[in-house]
């Protein structure tokens, strides 16, 4: 419905559309640009894939790519420019106190991310839908399997949660796969 509205308001069908289909949060969302745009413009569109990841360090992306492979094995992965010592990744057992493992340094912004259905259980935590499109220095992702089970787009939601960190990522609980 929304795409129809956009196309009606742009009679030339000349536009720039930006988005990562791997981060689609709605079951009605975009799975592929060809599938989405085809009904309106046929094959008269060009896709340019971004090949560089400026935000997320390589170590953190390696964790996120494991999840990406579960739902979009053919999705292109950008080259993370921040490699080497950038990006600290830690895995902790289920039940670990997220506040105890969240780095606290002056000038850094950290967040604890949980499944949307659990965000009301603990003050100060955010659900996946709250953090989409944002970035934080330090991220603690709690119960990845619950995030996956919580939503029809669970793997995409987990991918979003894992890719919010710019400095450190802590995963509490098991990753799927």
Give the confidence band of 141 by pLDDT, cuts at 50, 70, 90: very high
**Of 27-36, 49-58, 115-124, 167-176, minimum mean pLDDT range:** 27-36
37 and 59 part of one domain: no
Instruction: Identify the domain containing residue 33 by its residue range.
Output: 2-41
Provide the token pair at 31. 């799975």
Q: Is residue 177 part of a domain?
A: no
Q: How many structural domains does the chain have?
A: 2
10 and 94 part of one domain: no
63 and 85 part of one domain: yes
14 and 67 part of one domain: no
117 and 160 part of one domain: yes
61 and 29 part of one domain: no
37 and 68 part of one domain: no
- What burial letters (b/e) apply to 8-30, b meaning 16+ CB within 10 Å? eeeeeeeeeeeeeebbbbeeeeb
Cα–Cα separations (whole angstroms), residue 156 to 46, 69, 71, 125: 24, 11, 8, 19
140 and 96 part of one domain: yes
23 and 103 part of one domain: no
Give the confidence band of 74 by pLDDT, cuts at 50, 70, 90: confident
Q: Is residue 48 part of a domain?
A: no
**Of 24-33, 41-50, 147-156, minimum mean pLDDT range:** 24-33
Q: How far apart are CA 116 and CA 157, in angstroms?
A: 10
- For residue 126, the model assigns a pLDDT of 95
36 and 63 part of one domain: no
Q: Is residue 77 part of a domain?
A: yes
CATH classification at residue 99: 3.40.50.300
36 and 62 part of one domain: no
36 and 58 part of one domain: no
């Amino acid at each position: 419905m929304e795409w129809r509205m956009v196309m009606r308001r742009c009679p030339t069908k000349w536009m720039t559309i930006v988005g990562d289909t791997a981060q689609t949060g709605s079951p009605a969302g975009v799975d592929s640009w060809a599938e989405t745009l085809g009904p309106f413009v046929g094959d008269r569109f060009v896709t340019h894939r971004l090949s560089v990841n400026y935000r997320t360090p390589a170590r953190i992306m390696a964790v996120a790519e494991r999840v990406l492979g579960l739902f979009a094995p053919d999705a292109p992965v950008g080259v993370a420019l921040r490699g080497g010592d950038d990006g600290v990744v830690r895995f902790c057992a289920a039940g670990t106190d997220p506040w105890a493992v969240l780095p606290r340094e002056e000038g850094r912004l950290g967040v604890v991310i949980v499944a949307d259905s659990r965000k009301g259980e603990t003050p100060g935590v955010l659900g996946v839908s709250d953090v989409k499109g944002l970035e934080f220095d330090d991220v603690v992702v709690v119960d990845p399997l619950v995030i996956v089970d919580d939503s029809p787009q669970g793997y995409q939601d987990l991918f979003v949660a894992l890719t919010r960190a710019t400095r450190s990522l802590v995963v509490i609980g098991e990753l799927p796969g």
